[in-house]
Amino acid sequence: MAGRRVLVTGGAGFVGSHLVDALLERGDRVRILDNLDPQVHGPERRKPEWVPADAEFIQGDMRSADDVRRSLREMDVVYHLAAAVGVGQSMYQVADYTAVNTLGTANLLQALVDERGGVEKLIVASSMSIYGEGRYVRPDGREPLNTLRTADQLRDHLWEPRDADGTVLTPAATDEGKPLDPTSIYALTKADQEKMVLMMGAAYGIPSVALRFFNIYGPRQALSNPYTGVAAIFSSRLLNGQPPLVFEDGEQKRDFVSVHDIVQALLLSAEEEAAVGKAFNVGSGRAVTVLEVASTLAGVLGTDVEAQVVGKYRVGDIRHCFADISLAREVLGYEPRVTFEEGMQELVGWLQEQERPEDHVETHAAELAARGLTL
């Protein structure tokens, strides 16, 4: 339904800005709350050129209860996308991640509870990271008792998860019923965001939905941010003539989903009444290895620079996780429209129009190593 007043937290960022465009196009009145984090938007914290003039912009912070309350006034729908993002970084910036993601969401919910009414729908961006490892099956088809990899196993480069009896497990598509087992502070705070929103939504009659995003890529990703999505990180390295750094052996399987399909799911989740109180996977439904991402990007960019497989493990990383999107198809009517190959072509086309990004990947790797967070 068009013509509603919509708040998008994090609306100047990667996903948020694409959502804002779609909302304005259908006739909604949009307000953005964004702190223009320098890690994403640069040290000058400039509002990016893609923030439209006909969207109201509030430069504010989720950690400020006053900023949050001001942004919520007279809103009908709230999309809560603002978050600090980065598995590795979250393991040494614990207080920052918890403040932005968990406390920020608490400020939002507190303001909604205190106002008592007005908001017709609340949608929160959750993450596939909350699962920890994805689904696995034993060769005999049974559920495994264990999927966690030990430090000794990782030091020996035995990358695939094994059951308690040592049986090597086979990855399977991860459905929403898979128990949550966050393995990083970032993942834990995303689980906080999802659970808090759905819990308080049910308690106070605020129709709420959580979308568990898988690995998002597309135009407007922060190319100089070493904690952003792997497609943007690899692209940044290749544009600088440097090999993408691939942890473990590069055969980790992920689900890479275009930002355009993410926006589709966000719009659908605000319209479908049957979605209320539920969490949905949003991905492509296709498993792709990390090495495939690197080779596809190199091919599209026309470079012969090959990925460098470093054979190390980052604390907090998982081996395989790709989406079962059956529930989103059934309830939301969601259907991925952008293939991996089409999406990579679009990403590279956009990249070639940008200034060459600064490459901070090796600095990030050194920070992890200095803290003992790589094996």
Q: What does the pLDDT read at residue 366?
A: 62
Question: How many domains, in total, are found in the chain?
Answer: 1
| 281, part of any domain | yes
| 165, part of any domain | no
Whole-number Å distance between alpha carbons of 109 and 199: 10
Residue 68 host element (H or E): helix 65-72
Pairing of strands 170-172, 135-137: antiparallel
Cα end-to-end distance, the chain, whole Å: 51
Domain that holds residue 356: 5-134+174-370
Whole-number Å distance between alpha carbons of 127 and 214: 6
Grouped pLDDT means (10 residues each) for the chain, 375 residues: 89 97 97 92 86 96 97 96 90 96 98 86 97 96 92 93 96 97 95 98 96 95 66 83 92 97 98 97 96 93 90 87 98 97 90 66 57 57
Q: What are phi and psi of 127, to 5 degrees?
A: -150, 150
Q: Residue written as tokens 């498993």? A: 287
Which of 131, 136, 186, 334 is flagged as catalytic? 186
| 146, part of any domain | no
| 153, part of any domain | no
| 150, part of any domain | no
Q: What does the pLDDT read at residue 371?
A: 59
| 241, part of any domain | yes
| 362, part of any domain | yes
Q: What is the pTM of this model?
A: 0.93
| 49, part of any domain | yes
CATH number, domain containing residue 17: 3.40.50.720
Active-site residue, 186 included: yes
